[in-house]
Amino acid sequence: MINQYEVPALIEDALPELKKPLHQFPAIFHIYETVQCLDNYLIRQLRNKNYALLEKCLQLTGRLYERGNPLVRNAVVRIILPDLSREHPADNLSCIKLYSLIPPSIYNLYMQQHLQINIPNEQ
């Protein structure tokens, strides 16, 4: 199981460009800030349609959720999935591309969040 102390190193290994942002706070003690850093980068790649880096971010997110301890999994569910679910790709092609990049380990959770956020409650 991946614990919260291993997450910063895993992020740095997968995405070396996040090394500096992760070192602005003691990342090994702040799992939510660490995951927020990954989330900010992931959303930026989605908005810029940088699908190669977005795929790396999503694969890492899936691995953190799949292999993480309860604290790591909770951080992914509470930070990354809601933000990702709120993003609306500009066109159908971008939407299909995003769906194809989301790893199976978080796809169902993503769809649940996406439907909750984007479909108004019927009264």
Q: Tens place of pLDDT for every residue, the chain, 123 residues?
A: 999 999 999 999 999 999 999 888 775 679 999 999 999 999 999 999 999 999 999 999 999 999 999 999 999 999 999 999 999 888 899 999 999 999 999 999 999 998 887 666 554
In a domain? residue 76: yes
Cα 13 to Cα 76: distance, rounded to the nearest angstrom:
18
Which domain range does residue 52 map to? 7-118
Question: How much is the pTM?
Answer: 0.90
Residue 2 included in any domain: no
Residues 6+ apart with CB under 8 A from 92: none
Give the chain's domain count: 1
Res 123: pLDDT? 47
Residues 6+ apart with CB under 8 A from 53: 15, 45
Distance from C-alpha of 67 to C-alpha of 76, rounded to nearest angstrom: 12
Write down how long the chain is: 123
**What's the pLDDT at 120?**
61
**CB-hemisphere CA count at 13 Å for 93?**
2
| 123 inside domain | no
